[in-house]
Amino acid sequence: MAMFDFSAIKNALKNVGDEHQKLLTKLEKLKRERDEVAASPIPKNELKEKIVGLLDSVSNNYPKQLLNDFRHQVVGEPMTHPEIRIGNILRNGTGNSVSANTLLYLLRDQIAEGIKRAVDEMPYPGPEGLPTAEREAKLADLDKQIEKAETELQKLTSQAQAAGVELKGFRVPAKGDRA
């Protein structure tokens, strides 16, 4: 009777176990990196742009409202109640108080600079992350790498199971271990 080479089986099982562990480690690293990229704060410059953009979107209604308030004068009609019309310049046509839209429009540059300064001075919740376009590209790349690693891991696991080898908690027996 010929001797069977059990060391070859042991080595093959060790190689499968090593590859399984390598894929698990790679997958864990990729997922951790993806989480870090996704959770990192946007760059301060992008935050400034977003806030100033919001400021502009709110204040941009003022010129239209001003035209509505003074439409009659624009088309050449005489101003009938000047004290009321002058109040509309600041009131945005409603109530007796100065509207936020009006102030945001009239003081836009000063407010925008103040916002930018405040963003620079505020404590940030962590290191600035990638700009949005780069972040989206990086996340898409990481998602592809994660999907590939998961597919490889599933393929290896399926092949091992088909051969009757269980990889969950797999370890090669050390010398002296008995089955």
User: What pLDDT shows up at residue 176?
Assistant: 42
| pLDDT (0 to 100) of residue 61 | 83
Cα three-residue angle 29-44-38, rounded to 5 degrees: 25
CA distance 15 to 40: 37
Same domain flag for 111 and 169: no
Q: Which residues of the chain have pLDDT under 50?
A: 170-179
pTM of the model: 0.67
* Shared domain check, 70 and 50: yes
In a domain, 1, yes or no: no
Residues 79 and 54 both lie in one domain:
yes
State the pLDDT at residue 179: 37
Determine the structural domain holding residue 150 and report its residue range: 8-40+131-179
Residues 36 and 46 in one domain: no
> Per residue in 34-48, is it b (16+ CB within 10 Å) or e — as a string?
beebeeeebbeebbb
What pLDDT is stored for residue 75 in this prediction?
66
Structural domain contains residue 2? no
- Which pLDDT value is given to residue 60? 87
Same domain, 22 and 82: no
Is residue 48 located within the same domain as residue 94?
A: yes
| pLDDT value, residue 165 | 81
Residue 14's pLDDT is what? 85
Question: Do 123 and 142 sit in the same domain of this protein?
Answer: no
The whole-number pLDDT of residue 84 equals 52
Domain count across the chain: 2
Give pLDDT, residue 178. 38
Same domain, 49 and 120: yes
Q: Do 70 and 121 reside in the same domain of the chain?
A: yes
Are both 78 and 123 inside the same structural domain? yes
Q: Is 96 inside a domain boundary?
A: yes
